Structure formats: structure tokens, C-alpha cells
Amino acid sequence: MTRRHAAPRGADFIRARRSRADLLRADPFRTGPFRADLLRTDLLRTGPFHARLRSTPHRLCRGRIDRRGTSERGVGSVLALSVTAVLLAAVILIAPLAAVLTAQSRARAAADASALAAADVAVGLRSGSPCPAAREAAVAGGATLSACVVDGVVVTVRVAVPAARWDVVAVATAGPPR
């Protein structure tokens, strides 16, 4: 009961102090009392405070503000956008992964072939030098030779195959069976 007689605050206080002329200008056909129904009629009907009072509930405003169907509006777009972002992120992560896996397979095969070709030369099955033979085999396999170490008849090679952003490296050693 004490609250009912308390002075209105904020926007309502400003509106409560509007003059009779202002109220008539806003509603020329107004006939009723100007102060008694000010907070009820005026708050709901006229002026720039209309939207504001509808959006901010006030204890002087009677009745509940109808917000049904407004809080979830636009959730579809947000959801679709987030799902799309997740999918794109997955593709951006997975596509290089597939490229790297393919490059890894190629690098392994190229390293094997390169080491075998070099070892064939080192053992004496073919003429020439081991490392140029290793390079030739690596290039034929789509790789580049980055290291070639000949230790007697055992050859160790390192080849690299460019994948998405990295070089996939494979190492292979070949020699006669012991």
C-alpha cells in the first residue's frame, strides 16, 4: 500500500509532470480527468514513450507485457550460421589432412623406390652412382631427394613430398640382406 502512493520515477515521473496543454495536444478529444488516469491511459496510448514502456515493464503499468514468440525469433539463422561455420571449419581441417595422407603414401613409396634404386647401384647391380639413381627414382615418384647417405652398400635416403602447406618426409634404408 505504501508503494501505491510513492512518487513515480524515471519516465513516468517526467510524464506525470506534463501539463494539461501537452496532454490536449497529444489527444485533442480528451475529455476525462487529466491526472487520475494519466498513468493508465497515456502510458498505453500516446507519445514516444509508448515503445519504451512496452519494452520495459514498470510496476505502474498494469497487466503483463506480451512477449510470446519474440524471444526465439531469428534463432534459425543463428543456428544455420553456426552449423555452417562448424562444417566449413571441418572441411578446412579435413581437406589438408586427406592431402597429407595421400602425400605420405606417395612419400613412403618414393622413399622405398629411391633407396632400392640407390642400393642396386651400390651393390653393383647397375652402373652409376647411388645418389643420382636415388634422385631419379624419387623424382619419378613425385618427390624430391633431400638427403642421401651411402654407407658401404647400405643406402639411406630422405625424400620430401609437398602437401597442403608442409613437406611430408619419408626415410628409407636399403641394402643387401644380411
Partner 1 sequence: MTAEFATVVPAVILLLAVCLATLQVGVQQLRVQDAAAVAARVEARGDGGSAAIVSELVPGASLSLVTRGALLCATVGDAVTVAGVTLGGVRIRGESCAPTVDEPGTG
Which one of residues 79, 147, 149, 164 is an interface residue with partner 1 (CB under 8 A)?
A: 79
Cα–Cα distances in angstroms (integers) from residue 54 to residues 57, 61, 99, in the given order: 7, 9, 58
Cβ neighbors of 156 (< 8 A, separation 6 or more) are: 115, 147, 148, 149, 171, 172, 173
Residues 132-171, mask of contacts with partner 1 (x by CB under 8 A): -x--xx--xxx-----------------------------
| Residue with Cβ nearer partner 1 (10 or 176) | 176
Q: Of 101, 102, 106, 125, which Cα lies nearest the Cα of 155? A: 125
Q: Does 93 bind partner 1 (CB under 8 A)?
A: no
The single-letter code of the amino acid at 165 is R
Q: DSSP letter for 174, please.
A: E
Q: Does 67 bind partner 1 (CB under 8 A)?
A: no
Q: Does 98 bind partner 1 (CB under 8 A)?
A: yes
Report the SS3 class of residue 88: helix
Residues 19-48, mask of contacts with partner 1 (x by CB under 8 A): ------------------------------
Smallest distance from the beta carbon of 51 to partner 1, in angstroms? 24
Q: Does 87 bind partner 1 (CB under 8 A)?
A: yes
Query: How far from chain centre, in Å, is Cα 151?
Result: 51
d(CA 61, CA 39): 7
Tell me which residues touch partner 1 (CB under 8 A): 72-77, 79-80, 83-84, 87-88, 90-91, 94-95, 97-99, 101-102, 105-106, 108-110, 112-113, 116-117, 120, 123, 125-126, 133, 136-137, 140-142, 176
